[in-house]
Structure 1
Amino acid sequence: MSTPPPPYWPAPPPQQPYREPALNGFALASLLVGLLCLPPLGIVFGIVALVQIARKGERGRALAITGLAVSVAMTAALVLVTDRVADRLSDRLDTLQRLERVEGELTDIDEMREGDCFNVPGGDLLDEDPLIYRIACTEVHEGEVTSSTRFPAGRFPGAPELKKAATDACWKAQDAYAMDTWALPSYADMYYFAPSRDARGGDRRLLCVIGTAEEEHRGSLRKDAGMLKPEQVAFLRVMNQADLALGSGPETEIDEALPEYRDWAREVDLALAGEARMLAGAQEHPELAGPARAQLKEVEAARAGWQRAAKATKPAEFQGAWDEASGALSVDTEKALRGAYGLSTTVPDWLAEQSGGDSGGSSSAAA
């Protein structure tokens, strides 16, 4: 009897060596392109990589996600930068177009002096660092320099201090330059170009200007002593000084700065005292006697109010005295007096607005 053959077991198939999935090329390309050159293309590569990795089981999913995120971020940054560059380029092109139409000779602001007239691109007298084109005052111009000075050396003033110093100095310069401020055209206003803390070379020049950009203007607005009679000059100096004092009050509320308001009241009273002396002397001239007497009566009443304000111990007390003093001065009375002196009787817009018309109210300057 024969022995049965052993059972047959087929040999196992040969084992295949392990092969790591291939790295998806688009995943790497997404990161490199997003970082180095074309972020929008990196977004496309990142999306393609994720689709292929899911379908083929390739490696690089984390790399593709990173590349996609980087490409999105770089694209956003690129859009932002491009937008800013486009805005600047547009502004530069607009400026260049305006420059082609500016009349005058390009002049450094440091070279401008009292009496010079000029134009600026677009008539923008509020530009902090304008291009100045000097031109003869007989030609159409947008600005006229009333003063060119420098801030003293030492600590550079802060913004509020700089604004107050520049405003005070330029109102004084305008009054001294134009003298009969009622004769200024309604479209004329005070502007200034003040230095900045980082101005080139430490330049501290303050340029005070009468701006006439709102309407086409020719001719100088300057009136020096040689253009006026001595009595007109004396009158205008005193009246302008009083207006400056009236317009230079504190900017804070009375409740917060009563001592400053009292000091201001004393300054106004002192300025009005000078006006009173001038008016007392003017009564010796027959043609001035009547208007000067009427103005003097109002000035003395106003002084009494300001003197009470200077002694006020409570904000409400100061306010009451201030209102009384302001109401004592009539625009009509000053208008008649100016007419007697042979000066302009056109009430400035700012004064008409403060008084609610051509009569009544304070004659303080708008500062």
Structure 2
Amino acid sequence: MSIPPPPGPQQPYQAPDPYGPPSGQPYGQQPYGQPPYGPPYQTWGQGYSPYTRPSPVNGLAIASLVLGLLCCIPAAGLVLGVIALVQIRKKGQSGKGMAIAGSILSSVGLALWILALATGGLSEMWEGFKEGAKEGTDFSVVKGQCFNTVGGSLEGLTYDVDEVPCAGEHDGEVFGEFRLTGSAFPGDGGVSVAADEKCYPLQDAYAMDSWALPEDVDVYYFGPTRTSWRLGDREVTCIFGNTDETAGLTGSLRADETTLDADQVALLKALNTVDATLYEEPEDYPEDDLPGYQVWSEDLRDVLGDQIEALNAHSWPADTEKSVSALVKDMEGAQKEWAKAAVADDPDAFYTHYDKGYAYVDGPTTVTAREALGLASDPPSYDEDYDSGDSGSDGSELDV
């Protein structure tokens, strides 16, 4: 048994050798009567390090708080908050406050959504959103208005136009509009077909004097896109534009009851009504569809009879009455030829009356009557290969 050293004054503290204990002496053991090697230090418990490191924040807690603040998907925010609380408890992570706050905010948002659905408020909110969105897709252009587009093109996609006076240079002039029907977007091709079918009749009502239209003017239109269709856009706007993008238009092309006198309107209505029936000529040749041509000839006979009656019933100014009477006489002769064409036994006989029935159209008496009434008197040149159904497919469309 070793005997402890006698009591006595404590030995002064000796600083440790910076290079460790003396050679040959075990580490941690000091000479008798000396304190342990080195100053005392604190041991750290299991799972901790001598440096303070914050525990990681749970990612789901952050997501729950964000969704709770946005209220866009309240149910998801609530679910993420609950899952985050479980993970925080198991893994010792931080973010408990964010998870609780996200869960509470998401619960409130979910309650508001349920209340909106029950009261119809959500439906009103959605309608309001659609109306607001439509304001960005609808144009303010109306019938009779002239405008310029960005870049001067009437083809492709546009988001805005600038109204300008029709008297000056401009890119387009609106002459009509109509709304598409149906719930499903008909596609760009379907919009083009509808524009071809409905814009051309509107053209005849807006520019009644077709002879006054420049040859380089064609029909274009604003149509809805697939995106604007989802927001309720159904409007198709029919416009005049120049086939040469660098040329544009100058002056208004409007010629209807607002710009013409009663005598001019009466003559143009009669001529245009007959022309509309002439345009309905069957696509096949008489050799292939004689019955179809016979029915069409009957229609022309009847239409001519109605317009002859209308022209004779109108009171014409003294200086125009003779010219109009000469035109009516030619129309009566054409009516008789179409009546004979309607009962022709073979294509050859049909062609004989067909040619005579067409003879008065754009003939001398038509020109004379137009001159007497102050209308355009230069007959337009017709392209024999013209097909109005091809206009939309040639790109005469401006999507909005």
Q: TM-score range by the shorter chain?
A: 0.5 to 0.7
Aligned with residue 341 of structure 1, among 347, 350, 373: 373
**Aligned counterpart, 1:20:** none
SS at match of 1:349: coil
- In 2 relative to 1, CA 132–261 (structure 1 residues): closer, same or farther, beyond 3 Å? farther
- Unmatched 5+ stretches in structure 1: 1-105, 355-364
Aligned with residue 145 of structure 2, among 98, 111, 116: 116
- In 2 relative to 1, CA 248–218 (structure 1 residues): closer, same or farther, beyond 3 Å? same
Q: Distance in 1 between the 2:304 and 2:190 partners?
A: 26
SS at match of 2:169: coil
**Aligned counterpart, 1:171:** 200
- In 2 relative to 1, CA 330–144 (structure 1 residues): closer, same or farther, beyond 3 Å? closer
**Aligned counterpart, 1:211:** 241
- Report deviation, 1:265: 2.6
Contact kept? 1:137, 1:220, Cα under 8 Å: no
- Report deviation, 1:326: 1.0
CA-based RMSD of the aligned residues comes to 3.7
Q: Distance in 1 between the 2:318 and 2:337 partners?
A: 30
- Report deviation, 1:233: 1.7
String of CA shifts for 1:211-235, please: whole Å, max 9, x gaps: 1353242332223424322222222
Contact kept? 2:148, 2:172, Cα under 8 Å: yes
- In 2 relative to 1, CA 180–155 (structure 1 residues): closer, same or farther, beyond 3 Å? same
Q: Distance in 2 between the 1:309 and 1:158 partners?
A: 42
Amino acid at match of 1:267: D
Is structure 2 residue 181 aligned with structure 1 residue 181? Answer: no
- Report deviation, 1:336: 0.6
Amino acid at match of 2:161: Y
- Unmatched 5+ stretches in structure 2: 1-134, 389-400
Aligned with residue 239 of structure 1, among 242, 266, 271: 271
Contact kept? 1:117, 1:136, Cα under 8 Å: yes
**Aligned counterpart, 2:326:** 294
Is structure 2 residue 172 aligned with structure 1 residue 140? Answer: no
String of CA shifts for 1:299-329, please: whole Å, max 9, x gaps: 1121122223333454444444322211243
**Aligned counterpart, 2:394:** none
Amino acid at match of 1:137: P
Amino acid at match of 1:146: F
SS at match of 2:266: helix
Is structure 2 residue 337 aligned with structure 1 residue 305? Answer: yes
String of CA shifts for 1:257-308, please: whole Å, max 9, x gaps: 4444334333333332233123323576432232122211211121122223
String of CA shifts for 1:92-146, please: whole Å, max 9, x gaps: xxxxxxxxxxxxxx97466543123233455444x36555523223342121111
Is structure 2 residue 180 aligned with structure 1 residue 151? Answer: yes
- In 2 relative to 1, CA 188–330 (structure 1 residues): closer, same or farther, beyond 3 Å? closer
Amino acid at match of 1:240: N
Amino acid at match of 1:145: V
Amino acid at match of 1:207: T
Contact kept? 1:279, 1:295, Cα under 8 Å: no
- In 2 relative to 1, CA 280–136 (structure 1 residues): closer, same or farther, beyond 3 Å? same
Per the normalisation by structure 1, the TM-score is: 0.56
- In 2 relative to 1, CA 109–319 (structure 1 residues): closer, same or farther, beyond 3 Å? farther
Q: Distance in 1 between the 2:162 and 2:300 partners?
A: 38
Q: Distance in 2 between the 1:224 and 1:291 partners?
A: 22
**Aligned counterpart, 1:323:** 355
- Report deviation, 1:162: 7.2
**Aligned counterpart, 1:271:** 303
SS at match of 2:280: coil
**Aligned counterpart, 1:90:** none
Amino acid at match of 2:282: P
- Report deviation, 1:148: 0.7
Amino acid at match of 1:235: L
Return the structure number with greater helix share: 1
Mark the structure with the bigger radius of gyration: 2
Contact kept? 1:141, 1:212, Cα under 8 Å: no
SS at match of 2:378: coil
Q: Distance in 1 between the 2:139 and 2:243 partners?
A: 21
**Aligned counterpart, 1:332:** 364
SS at match of 2:310: helix
Is structure 2 residue 309 aligned with structure 1 residue 280? Answer: no
